[in-house]
Structures are given as C-alpha cells and as structure tokens.
A = this chain, B = another copy of it.
C-alpha cells in the first residue's frame, strides 16, 4: 500500500494544521476557539441567519453548531429569536459585544494571514485555493447518495 504519510488526506491535514497553528494562539488569547471565530465571522457579514444556513456557511455540523451557539449566547456574543413565520426556525445574529470582540481580534488575525500569504506567495496561494476548490468539485456527489441507494 502507498506510504500513508503521502496520502491525500494526510497532506491536507498537515497543511491545515500548519496554517491553524498560526492562528490558534491569537484566538485563544481572546477566549475564542477556531469554530467560534468561524461563526462570528460568518455572522458579521450578514444581518441574521437561520441555524441551518449558518451551519452550511461556517461548515459545521448541526450538533456542533447547536452546542457552540448555546455557549456563545450565554456569553452574550450572539442573539437569537425564533422566526415569526416558522416557530421551528431560530434566527441568529451577532451582538454588539460580539462585534467589539471581533474588532479586537481582527487586526492580529489579518496580520497572520498577511504573513502566510507573503511567505507562500499571493499567486501561489490563489492557485492552491483554486485547486482545492476543484478537488472538492470533482468529488461532489460521489459520496452518500449513491451509496445509500445501493444499500437499500
């Protein structure tokens, strides 16, 4: 079998870890995890969102998001209210306090991103992201649905 240290999942994991290692200390100093930061960033760009839509945007599974929103709400970084038209839906938005926290984190976060871009190269970074997007595209629809049909 192929040396697994050179497998695609491993390459992706290692690369992502190398990148996240840069950001975590800064986020941690502000009392945020990577996922909490993702959620705040997703909320900052929008008025309010449904939980399901937020899960899609922040690329989190429902259960994870559910827990994190509970905590962020307890810390008053976000606000929720149930939609008027559909009692099942919960509308989420970032709070004033959340906005301020983001403002205090953003500079360092931007600086780190800039340094990564500088080291790797702007053009190369764009190319890498393009290739990652294509990988994702090429695998879209290969997974769950067909298998599910086959198993039934």
Contacts and interface: CB of A to CB of B under 8 A. Distances in A.
Interface centre among A12, A44, A127, A133 (most CB of B within 10 A): A12
A83 interface: no
Contact of A59 (B2, B3, B17, B22): B17
A6 B113 CA distance: 12
A101 to B, nearest CB: 14
Interface residues of A, number: 57
Interface in A93-152: 106, 110, 113, 115-116, 119-120, 124-125, 127-129, 131-136, 138-140, 142-144, 147
A110 to B, nearest CB: 7
Interface string A1-17: 11111111111111111
A115 B8 CA distance: 13
Contacts of A62: none
Given A4-B45, A7-B113, A14-B132, 14 more contacts: A1-B41, A1-B44, A2-B113, A5-B57, A9-B34, A15-B133, A17-B59, A18-B135, A18-B139, A19-B135, A21-B144, A120-B134, A120-B139, A124-B134
